[in-house]
Structure 1
Amino acid sequence: MNYERMLEEFYELVKIDSETLHEEQIVGVLKEKMEQMGFDVIEDDSKERTGHGAGNLIATMKGSLPDADPIYFTSHMDTVTPGVGIEPVLKEDGFIYSAGDTILGADDKAGLAALFEMMRTLKESGEAHGDIQFVITAGEESGLVGAREIDNSLMHAKYGYAVDSDGKVGGIVTAAPYNAKLKTVIHGRTAHAGVEPEKGVSAITIAAKSVAAMNLGRIDSETTANIGTFSGGQATNIVCDEVNILSEARSINYEKLQQQMEHMVKAFEETAEKMGGSAETDARIMSPGFRFDEQDEVVQVAQQAIRAIGRTPALLTSGGGSDGNIFNGHGFPTVTLSVGYEKIHTKDERMPVEELNKLADLLLEIVRTAAARRKNDQ
């Protein structure tokens, strides 16, 4: 493993502007790099539906072990803002930071750099392996939109790994929640607030009382809910007749998610009816949840590989989502691997060099472990 080469490539990647919606600069670089490694690379047509600067890249490397199960790895090419003009700097504490007033972009360019170094090392060694696919998505930071719109007929892996989670290398996210979004419109009745307020029905009051009647925050160990935005009103002398509310519910348990969504919708509707208004809610599940245990092959392979690099596996439950949620919904068993980055989505983001090196080691061991297990099964 050429760690210095990987570090330089990480610097190169984070310097390429790729804020979500604007992936057009980086997609060509990534495609060229993977083609030079020997991958067959396809950019799908998802950008026509997402409005992003690029489609998803699906790169396939045929293996020399026909009996080995095909596996895949996924990372995303886009970053959050502010991500223009990033200048990485390695400090004496062993962490890479942004030198300027931006994020670093280790989320998820650390994943990309480690994947590329793993593949180069594998190619240079001539080591036998099964089919490997890299799925590099656009629009992950805009709500997983690239993964949602991917042409999954281009994927043929048995299982895979999303290289995109915080925590030290060795962590495996084996459970993550279903995520539902609720868009609610509260209708009241307008009136002059000073002359005849009794003729009005305040949508703001309806909304406030509805939210006050809800169970929100941490519902239980598997379920959360939150009111995200609340907007409405024109002036203090007008009784507000419309309020828009965006909210969410998450749960690893599908039935609990449905119960929480029904509870929130009911609170809006019943409160509005009592006060002489009305409420309409569009509630949709935006991404599927998943749950694996130590008996699942995708977990067993990761655990064995983690032990091989001298770390102790840690099975984790996440309260957030990733492209792994979407690919599980597409039928490809996927767990998410800890990358080691810290304080992501902030200007204090940092990446420890030690974890970047360990991540590349782990990815190589996963390929080896997957190939060896399949051969041993024959």
Structure 2
Amino acid sequence: MINEQRLLDEFLELVQTDSETGEERTICELLKEKLTALGFHVTEDDSAKQTGHGAGNLIANLEGTMEGAPRIYFTSHMDTVSPGKGIKPAVENGWVVSDGSTILGSDDKAGLAALLEGIRTVREHQLPYGPVQLIITAGEESGLVGSKALDPELIRSDFGFAMDSNGPVGHIITSAPSQVKIFAKIYGRAAHAGVNPEDGVSAIQVASRAIAKMPLGRIDDETTANIGQFRGGTASNVVSEYAEVLAEARSRNEAKLKKQVDRMVEAYEKAAEELGARVELDVDVMYPAFQYEESDPVVQKAVAAVKKIGRQPKLIASGGGSDANVIAGHGIPTVNLGVGYENIHTTSERMPIEELNKAAELVVALIDVSKEQ
């Protein structure tokens, strides 16, 4: 039932609207116009005051045509990574691509286009539906800052779906990890590296010893850890008195995550004690994990919708986080759905048009199967 040409045209319009993360104002205003035209009551929250981004989150509510139907929500994000300015898309052999100098921005403008076309189709064909809420976030690509600043009282839905995962349409992310970031500041003591190195305490050596003691990479099938940044020192002839390290750990199992973080913290503290340095650690939980079983209603709805569009559903455990983690953490059952984009966050990104069409069909099917208790 979807209008494939209209969907493609709207997707091309969206990707040509600059919206690098932190600079979302233009796309925010465009989405307000589009959602209002579709009959939504649209509000922008005040999260930009907290995040410093160019726009807040959009919360759009559409009254249902059926009384007593469950309240569902969809979420996608309006921002992109860089380089995402002046995108020049082209249609080539069934894909939409950029000219190679920028990303394409299908993450997550394919999700946005699918939502707009899906809802437009439902209304044009006068299909019955329950209340629908859209939560369009800013700052997803900057560490989910928009969704983390979202007032959970604004989420007035029973369950929902994020249109924001790689993999073909039909993939259903039922489990995703919590992430913890660990920022270490290590204070040693400076000395001349050639004259009196024994009087110094190398912060770089402390950090290195700590890292060498940490389990890193793939810990098990649910848990990972990584050192992302390491900075320190001023010159080769100076024993470094300061170093800083940014690390992370993730797990879909909270007990395993705690064990991994504790081991990383202990490694820093022990190395500092052994070498006579001081370490300050900032440990932040970035977002919670979520996990749903095949028997959970939100999963059953997603499975039914995927089958309805002629695809075979595949339940996936992800290693990445999204706005779905944050919203699920507020007690709103949420799964993340494959949209079909490829090579995201690179200049070789591309969007299969077939998957774009199927994503819009999936939105229609999700609204349909969700209207019953």
Segment of structure 1 superposing worse, 150-159 or 28-37 = 150-159
2:370 is matched with 370
- Deviation at residue 326 of structure 1 after TM alignment: 0.4
Equivalent residue letter for 1:27? C
What does residue 294 of structure 1 align with? 294
Q: CA deviation at 1:100?
A: 4.3
Alignment partner, residue 29 of structure 1: 30
User: Which residue does 1:129 correspond to in 2?
Assistant: 129
1:127 Cα deviation from its structure 2 partner: 1.2
Q: Is the Cα contact below 8 Å between 1:96 and 1:350 reproduced in 2?
A: yes
Give the CA deviation at 1:126: 1.2
Contact persistence 2:44–2:59 (CA under 8 A): yes
Contact 1:96–1:351 (8 Å) recurs in 2: yes
- Alignment check: 8 A CA contact 2:100 2:348 kept: no
Per the alignment, residue 51 of structure 2 pairs with 50
Q: Distance in 1 between matches of 2:32 and 2:20?
A: 18
Alignment of 1:11-30 (within 5 A): 11-30=12-31
Whether 1:267 aligns to 2:255 is no
**Deviations along 1:17-76, whole A, 9 cap, x unmatched?**
000000011100000100000000000000000000000000000001111100000000
Give the CA deviation at 1:152: 2.2
Counterpart in the other structure of 2:354:
354
Tell me how far 1:278 sits from its aligned partner.
2.0
For structure 1, which runs of at least 5 residues remain unmatched after alignment? none
Q: Deviation of residue 156 (structure 1)?
A: 0.6
- Alpha carbons 1:86, 1:100 under 8 Å: kept: no
One-letter amino acid of the counterpart of residue 165, structure 2: S
Residue identity opposite 1:343 in structure 2: N
Match of 2:183 in 1: 183
Structure 1 residue ranges, 4+ long, deviating more than 3 angstroms after superposition: none
**Which runs of structure 2 are paired with 1:162-181 in the superposition (5 Å)?**
162-181=162-181
User: TM-score scaled to structure 2, two decimals?
Assistant: 0.99
TM-score by length of 1: 0.97
Local SS of the residue matching 2:43? strand
Query: Aligned equivalents of 2:51 and 2:213: distance in 1?
Result: 36
In 1, Cα distance between the equivalents of 2:337 and 2:264?
Answer: 33
Separation in 2, partners of 1:291, 1:116: 28
Q: What CA distance in whole angstroms lies between the structure 1 residues aligned with 2:276 and 2:365?
A: 63
Distance 1:158 1:147 in 2: 17
SS of residue in 2 equivalent to 1:362 = helix
Which residue number corresponds to residue 3 of structure 2?
Answer: 2
Q: Distance in 1 between matches of 2:119 and 2:308?
A: 18
Q: How many residues align?
A: 372
How far is the alpha carbon of 1:153 from its aligned partner?
Answer: 1.5
Structure 2: 5+ residue runs without aligned partners? none
Greater CA drift, 228-237 or 340-349: 228-237
Distance (Å, rounded) in 2 between the aligned partners of 1:152 and 1:60? 15
- 8 Å CA contact 1:182, 1:284 repeated in 2: yes
* 2:75 equivalent in structure 1: 74
The answer to whether the 8 Å contact 1:180/1:248 transfers is yes
- Write the distance in 2 (CA, Å) between the matches of 1:47 and 1:148: 11
Q: Secondary structure at the match of 1:345?
A: coil
CA distance in 2, matches of 1:27, 1:185: 38
3-state SS in 2 of match to 1:231 = strand
